Structure 1
Amino acid sequence: MFLSRLLEPVKAAAKEAGATLWQLYQSGDFQQQQKADQSPVTSADLAANRIIIERLSELTPDIPIISEESKLAPLMQRQHWPRYWLIDPMDGTQEFVARSGDFAVSIALVERDWPALGVIYWPKEDILYYASRGNGAFKQQRNLINRIRVNQHHQGDTLKIAVSRRQPLQPIIDLLNSEHAVEYIALGSCSLKSCLVAEGKADCYLRLGPTGEWDTGAVHVIVEEAGGKILDSEFTPLSYNQRDTLANPDFMVMGQASTPWPDLIKARRTERDLSL
């Protein structure tokens, strides 16, 4: 009941923030700068961040908020939170700046350090993806709502892999174990590529390189409620709120659970994984 009560207001907050992003995107009236980690941030990210924090604070004043664009509370404080909001006001800032339109708003509620509710809004297409634990995953485009499921991949089928528009393809090719026919589907935004898997348009998404827990929180519950999984590059579950930073290891978004993923994709341990 608690999760179902929150879902509609959270969808509304995501759409409101997304509308602001889309207005600034179309007008070009935004400023860009580099963060300490050299990733881009724009005034549009910060405007969406303000809207989401205001709406969530009104909705649940007793639940703390973690955002990519806000100062992170120390682990000693965070580890005692029974639940918290985990948000990325604009996932895909590079896509926003590059004018591809492949950026999204991401809002998750994490309970007992595991995602319980997730909402993704894609302003360009006016699409909402959302899910809450135990209640299925859904795609809403304007007033049309459909339940979504991962693709039923069969042996011998072409393996459809979601990939980034901005990153080289060869590292992904090097991870594939088999001689399966492969189709690569390029899209911006980490969360949108994960949603491709959730709705069955891709079989998997292999993410190599830096991401934060706000990049996976909302899509984690969406993918799992659609029948898929998100695991790290050694096929073990991601964790949330367990480290000083919220950096993710490399991870894989995988569709149909019965697919023999270890036969198709090589486990991969990196120095970055070891540091976590």
Structure 2
Amino acid sequence: MADFSLDQGFAKLLPSVKSIAREAGQVILRYYTDTVSAHVKPDGSPVTAADHAAEAVILPALHHLTPNIPVISEEEYASGKSPPGDHPTFWLVDPLDGTRSFVEHTGEFTVNIGLVSNGIPVLGVMYLPVDGDLYAAAGPGTAVHCEQGRHDVPISARTIPADGLVCLSSRRHGDREKLDGFLQGKLVKEHRHSSSALKFCVIARGEADIYPRFGPTCEWDTAAGHAILLAAGGSIETPDGKPLGYGKPDYLNGEFVAYGRR
């Protein structure tokens, strides 16, 4: 168990959380075969045995690491097993973000572990099992990218280049009319589509500038990437310009826009 208290800061948790994410990713890869099958949950989203197996690695490890901090995880929440009540500090876990991409073998899926304190994501780890990339952060200026198990390299969001912004959007969840309206009047150099929460990290490492999301998401979809983006100098805002907060009823996010440095 980690020697940890809330007044000591969260950065000392990062090495352990990185290891937990990597271990979960290796478990996921055991299921990454030609015969991957998915079941459909009541909300219409898919779930596989790999989602549950990864969660079974992450949850006990986090409970051991920080026994006094509750864990809200996608599949446990869906089955009604998450701890009830309001929590000033809590973990948000998506054990396999991008399940459809996992089933389709695109490689665009991640393990997401985020820590929220007083409504703000303060620590995030995102791991890509297929290529071994890992992103992590625990506070301003701490965002790093570890490519294929090599050394951590600091990353930073960029200001929008003079020749135009790079916009990211989801492959599957988009409202083209709203997106076009939002981008109207903006100089757009390129528009890229991708799956999973990796979009936050693409902005955090200075390779894109904006990610508008007009469909629903849950807090475990965004917390890890949000923490990394904040640490890299970016932000996520609601349509009325307020920071995206956490601990909402049912852990549901409304519309938001992720930005690089402004």
Normalising by structure 1, report the TM-score: 0.85
User: What is the match of residue 89 of structure 1?
Assistant: 95
Q: 1:73 to 1:114 in 2, by over 3 A?
A: farther
1:14-66 CA-to-partner distances (Å, cap 9, x unmatched) read: 011111112211x2454411111111111111111110002111211221110
Q: Does 1:228 align with 2:234?
A: yes
Q: Secondary structure of the residue that 1:24 maps to in structure 2?
A: coil
Structure 1 CA distance for aligned equivalents of residues 21 and 216 of structure 2:
24
Identical residues among aligned pairs (%): 37
Structure 2 CA distance for aligned equivalents of residues 255 and 168 of structure 1:
20
Contact 1:30 1:44 in 2 (8 A): no
**Aligned Cα RMSD in Å?**
1.9
One of 97, 116, 120 as aligned partner of 1:110: 116
Q: Does 1:251 align with 2:256?
A: yes
Q: Does 1:170 align with 2:172?
A: no
Q: Secondary structure of the residue that 2:50 maps to in structure 1?
A: helix
Q: Secondary structure of the residue that 1:78 maps to in structure 2?
A: coil
User: What is the match of residue 187 of structure 1?
Assistant: 194
Normalising by structure 2, report the TM-score: 0.89
User: What is the match of residue 19 of structure 1?
Assistant: 26
Return the offset for 1:168: 5.2
Q: 1:37 to 1:112 in 2, by over 3 A?
A: same
Number of residue equivalences: 251
Return the offset for 1:187: 1.6
Return the offset for 1:235: 1.9
Q: Secondary structure of the residue that 1:116 maps to in structure 2?
A: strand
Return the offset for 1:233: 2.2
- Pairs within 5 Å for 1:29-178: 30-71=36-77, 77-79=84-86, 81-141=87-147, 142-154=149-161, 156-167=162-173, 170-171=176-177, 172-178=179-185
Structure 1 CA distance for aligned equivalents of residues 186 and 219 of structure 2:
33
User: What is the match of residue 3 of structure 2?
Assistant: none
Please list every run of 5 or more consecutive structure 1 residues that lacks an aligned counterpart in the other structure: 258-276
Q: Does 1:208 align with 2:214?
A: yes
Contact 1:14 1:105 in 2 (8 A): yes
Structure 2 CA distance for aligned equivalents of residues 242 and 211 of structure 1:
12
Q: 1:151 to 1:134 in 2, by over 3 A?
A: closer
Please list every run of 5 or more consecutive structure 2 residues that lacks an aligned counterpart in the other structure: 1-7
Contact 1:185 1:202 in 2 (8 A): no
One of 161, 183, 204 as aligned partner of 1:198: 204
Contact 2:234 2:259 in 1 (8 A): yes
